[in-house]
A and B are shown apart, each in its own frame.
Chain A
């Protein structure tokens, strides 16, 4: 009990397991186990009441062999450098798996925005940029919104950066609003991305989407757009589960002949909560929240929270289920994952399935750099191409090397980063 939970150590352990499979040499392991660069700095801020306060800021660039770093900036009261390190490493893998030419970074400031006024937050943002303006930018490292930072914070940072550089650099940061350098299609990107991978998986299995059924957990942004696209492909969603704010519990809304996503959306609040009574009136069967997993369907898409498929309910998954696509982050616990692997269900792991979001961020940066912005369908078209080829790469490797999809995804991304580092002659 002397050791405490440490995100960075966990990330390193995960890396070590894959490095074993890839049989990486010591130098490569050394390089990839740790960030390439780390910046720690102090940001003095004049507070509203006239006093001064100094905030601690970080930027951690894990690896930029494949391109400029990419990763969020977190405002967190008990941020630690180890958390930032771990997250920057995960960013490297995430960019590599969808094969976008970016590296992995993460940054943050130790602060709690709940205790700060907007002006003070603006000062922190501008202070952060002043400290690291030389080492970030469209060609070096591209920050993005993260925990407790928003588009507003990004605009402050961009503005400060451009003031320092004396020119316009919209590609310095992503997560900006449309019209201020943001990209269209971001809302839909993650949900669509999930279905692009599902579509490819079905193609490999020689199953027509129109002949399939699916059950969704969650009815937020990701699930809503995923369902829309899946319906367009002809698939039938027999149930969705959603959280009921008033009852403090979740319910599953089922309809054997397929749910009508637009009808449901008209009775859904902005947090994805479906009105129980109105749903009943529309002919939906309202079941308890955990029923989604027991459905006799071909595809399960957990798109709500983490740790939803556990050792306790993994056995309830129907034998009919062929694909699980992780729309949410970490919806499957390791024990349950082992069971799924054992049963041979085709798993599309989270950092592949929901990579539509990071891909769209990359598109934002690309558009910014050329100062030319695409129409929505152009974004979706390019997204389709990226997601499809990323899926096929992972799937191909899984088949070739007889790997579980999740492991294959890790292998492929670490392999790409290692190869880029070697190509550059670093190791």
Chain B
């Protein structure tokens, strides 16, 4: 009992002591807060507040020595019982604080001071030291400012006064200035100065040879004296050769530059970590140095160093960026970086892109000199080496070996990797950083995006290859932090996923050490009902590669926008569409008729569900019915569709429950300067960065936010092709020099040519319509994306059928290219449609469009090839053989002894060329720029073909009643892609029961193959076999797939079956 109460007493005593100490420290802090007070006053106050912090405060007295000043508590007397700590300023001892117990009776003889009291005194002296240092710095700055003021006010007066002043207040500055003056004089060719320099250097050299490494203090002092001497001489020379004004001007510049030394040193030193740089910048900022103007060179030097350290070593980028940023622009970013200790990491391509774009746009003016007023969302960056730090901390470095494994293995292990990463621990400094970021974001939804160092490499657009994760960021701090860490871990894991690795493999970037920085961005938007979303968002491009009218120029740009999160505008969706506009031609719309507008307007919207903490896709109408009134600027986004008409209505007149609301963006496009601003943004960025750009944007209804900016890269299918000049004339099929987009078709095996003259001569509407039906059927039987459609005038014409083949999108959806031929009629050339009837479908499914003007000057059009080559229509679709005068289907390989057709298109030079070539005979120059080999190099067909043979070998014809088994389609043609199925044709003669058994047996194979394919490629499917059963009857009548057997072109190949048992 006793012992316990004693313990308790001890505890209370301890606590009391801690309270005293804290109280003391608090009082000290209070005093040191005042930077304007005189040091003397500070010390006087300190000696009063220190003693109460000590255990025996009544007998505690304090003595402070500072330089030659001494301060002590009243009743002070020196005893043996004391603590002492030195005041250190700039590594020099400038004084000390001592705490004495003046009455030692009854005190512990050994050490009457508590360990915490020793710490306390140390803390106090450190604080005092810092305080003195700070005051000193402040004074220096003030003095320098005074000097500057003097310079300003004495411009035309005697500069010697200033020199004297500097000499008296800051001798080292004086020396540096004189040195600069010396260099300057030498530079402008003053002989006297050169002589002086030589003599000085000689002297210096002779002095330093003895002690190369160490200048001891006495000799340094001598040095300074002699140098001061020398300096005086420099100024004498200067006064002889320079005007007073020149001298003054130079002084001014040099003094300012001098103040930045510490910053440049920190930036230049390879050893300085991000932390050091952060400190240097904040020192620069707090010293108020940013208020003075720097000389251009110094400014650029600092910019280059900062860009280099934070963003990239890529010279192209630095070259541009250095002109648009300023040290001040780094303040924000420096305070919003999460990095490990001693970090030398960078922030990655995405951060770099947006930083540069924002700084270019910040001061730019738009149309009519209006401020563009571009914003960027609140952003935090995690440096690239944080990932290593994370891996190292969790012993996960072996993940880096992942990329050298086979894709199958990578895919198999990927799920596991994600789990391992998600279950890993975060180092403490990272947790602190993320926590700080979360405090900054509050409960606003955020998105975590990768910002790979590979991303800023030209030609390698990793868009969407690494994950971006949206977080609703709702709930307690702990929940939010856990969700954020989960997201970061997942994105880290995605570096080791099969898709990015395969992508890097294809581009030869596998060995490049991938370091991924991350950015955490506040999601732009507002709360609408239970959801959070921007009013609208999208992507915009400097170059319009999908022109829907000849009046739209390439440089008119392109915007793809959607309501809600911009995710739907980035991806191409097959069942929903973004709104397309050309900012340079906002009035030329893609969709004109109400049917077109309805069909191609966005129906769904991506949002963040704040209630369920999730990312969701919902129907726009459902959202508007419930919360339309809360949706900012909704009246600019939707039009009311009534009586076959779209009207924009003011918010007051919108009835969200009953109106038929269609997303048109009509209000935004024609009623606001949005597109003008967009055009200005694209133009300015293109002009300043010297390349076409691609930006992501979003708006909360009030402001325009820039989310991302990078060089407009070419997706796989719109790289400009170099047009070869050395193609023999007989191999050229056609060329084009108008309205050409970018792209390349390398392996066209068939041409479907609707002869314009013959089409024109058709007499009845029946005949004209049958052409459309025939093409529709040809579209079904020819190999997908391996043929092109060529025809007169306007494909898909709905009005006057004479103008072009009457057909819908589904009738052409397998073609690789749609060509409209505008042949001269008398003295006029008809207008082409530019694919308007299904324009957006062409865009979303990457079908190329090309208009041909065969009668133009300098245009080659090998009409003979089309009209005289063997026409396989009769064999392909016997029921349409009566149309063979009009429709020519040409099997190119057959009529050219194995050649195929290549079409190269280049929008930059506005040229396209189609020519015949052997598949193996690659034209040198065109292949050199082949940045992106197609994924077909993976030989997807080969294993498919092997498996098909194996299935046939295992198939017991007696058991299943099978007469023959064939393979056709992409596998047989060796063009299978990762998503292709295996087309099997079975000639069946058995009973219903056998048929059922056979299908079951094949289903088993199909599922297994689908799994194998998934392992290899990541494409999931319900089965890989596409089985077509045909009977004797089918073969006789040549119905359905039976025509594939013994077909003239692309016939099915028979497979060997198991010997009949």
Contact = CB atoms under 8 A, between A and B. Distances in A.
A76 interface: yes
B645 A152 contact: yes
B587 A74 contact: no
B760 interface: yes
A60 to B, nearest CB: 15
A148 B592 CA distance: 7
A213 B743 CA distance: 55
B896 interface: no
Contacts of B670: 118
Nearest to B802: A5
B793 interface: yes
Nearest to B550: A115
A44 interface: no
A178 B764 CA distance: 40
Interface string A291-326: 000000000000000010000000000000000000
A48 to B, nearest CB: 6
A148 B762 contact: no
Contacts of B599: 271
Nearest to A149: B593
B466 interface: no
A135 interface: no
A3 B643 CA distance: 41
A10 B765 contact: yes
Given A114-B836, A148-B593, A77 B761 contact: no
Contacts of A307: 769
A288 interface: no
Given A114-B834, A116-B588, A178-B643, A78 B765 contact: no
B642 A115 contact: no
A213 to B, nearest CB: 31
Contacts of A186: 643
A248 B810 contact: yes
A333 B765 CA distance: 10
B319 to A, nearest CB: 36
A4 B587 contact: no
B551 A115 contact: yes
B554 interface: no
Nearest to B591: A114
B766 A334 contact: yes
A35 to B, nearest CB: 18
A2 interface: yes
Interface centre among A74, A112, A116, A148 (most CB of B within 10 A): A112
Given A77-B831, A80-B800, A307-B769, A119 B587 contact: yes
Interface string A1-26: 11111010010000000000000000
A4 B761 contact: yes
B971 interface: no
Contacts of A5: 762-765, 767-768, 802
Interface in B588-621: 588-590, 592-595, 598-599
Q: How large is the interface on B (under 10, 10 to 19, 20 to 34, 35 or more residues)?
A: 35 or more
Nearest to B799: A147
B803 interface: yes
A234 interface: no
A150 B644 contact: yes
A74 B760 contact: no
A182 interface: yes
Nearest to B761: A1
A343 interface: no
A229 interface: no
B390 interface: no
Given A4-B760, A77-B794, A114 B592 contact: yes
Contacts of B836: 112, 114
B195 interface: no
A371 interface: no
Interface in B627-678: 642-645, 670
Contact of B644 (A1, A74, A114, A151): A151
Nearest to A249: B810
A77 B794 CA distance: 10
A246 B813 CA distance: 12
Nearest to B762: A5
A414 to B, nearest CB: 21
Interface in A61-102: 74, 76-80, 83
A344 interface: no
A7 to B, nearest CB: 8
Contacts of B768: 5
A368 B828 CA distance: 43
Nearest to A176: B643
Nearest to A248: B810
Contacts of A246: 574-575
Interface in B838-897: none
A177 interface: yes
Contact of B642 (A79, A117, A177): A177
Nearest to B808: A248
Contacts of A245: 575
B644 A78 contact: no
Contacts of B550: 115
Nearest to B596: A114
A334 B592 CA distance: 33
Interface in A216-273: 245-246, 248-249, 270-271
A108 to B, nearest CB: 10
A173 to B, nearest CB: 14
A283 interface: no
A115 to B, nearest CB: 4
B549 A115 contact: yes
B830 interface: yes
A286 B836 CA distance: 33
Nearest to A153: B645
Contacts of B587: 48, 117-120
Contact of B645 (A4, A83, A151): A151
Given A10-B765, A83-B800, A178-B643, A115 B588 contact: yes
A117 B584 CA distance: 12
A48 B590 CA distance: 17
Contacts of A248: 809-810, 813
B795 to A, nearest CB: 13
A358 B965 CA distance: 58
A178, A248, A334 — most chain B CB neighbours (10 Å): A248
B833 interface: yes
Given A78-B803, A115-B550, A249-B810, A150 B598 contact: no
A117 B675 CA distance: 15
B42 to A, nearest CB: 73
A79 B588 CA distance: 21
Interface string B761-784: 111111111000000000000000
A408 to B, nearest CB: 23
A150 B645 contact: yes
A334 B769 CA distance: 13
B941 interface: no
Interface string B59-91: 000000000000000000000000000000000
Given A3-B763, A118-B670, A271-B598, A78 B831 contact: yes
B470 interface: no
Output the residue of B574, B588, B809 with the most chain A CB within 10 A. Answer: B588
B548 interface: yes
Nearest to A77: B831
Contacts of A151: 643-645
Among B590, B642, B802, residue most surrounded by chain A Cβ atoms (within 10 Å): B802
A177 B645 contact: yes
Given A115-B588, A118-B670, A150 B594 contact: yes
22 contacts: A4-B762, A4-B763, A5-B762, A10-B765, A76-B800, A78-B803, A114-B589, A114-B836, A117-B585, A118-B587, A119-B587, A150-B594, A150-B645, A151-B644, A177-B642, A182-B643, A186-B643, A187-B643, A246-B575, A249-B810, A271-B595, A334-B766
Q: Which 3 residue pairs spanning A and B have beta carbons closest together?
A: A117-B587, A248-B810, A151-B645
Given A112-B833, A117-B585, 4 more contacts: A114-B836, A150-B645, A152-B645, A246-B575
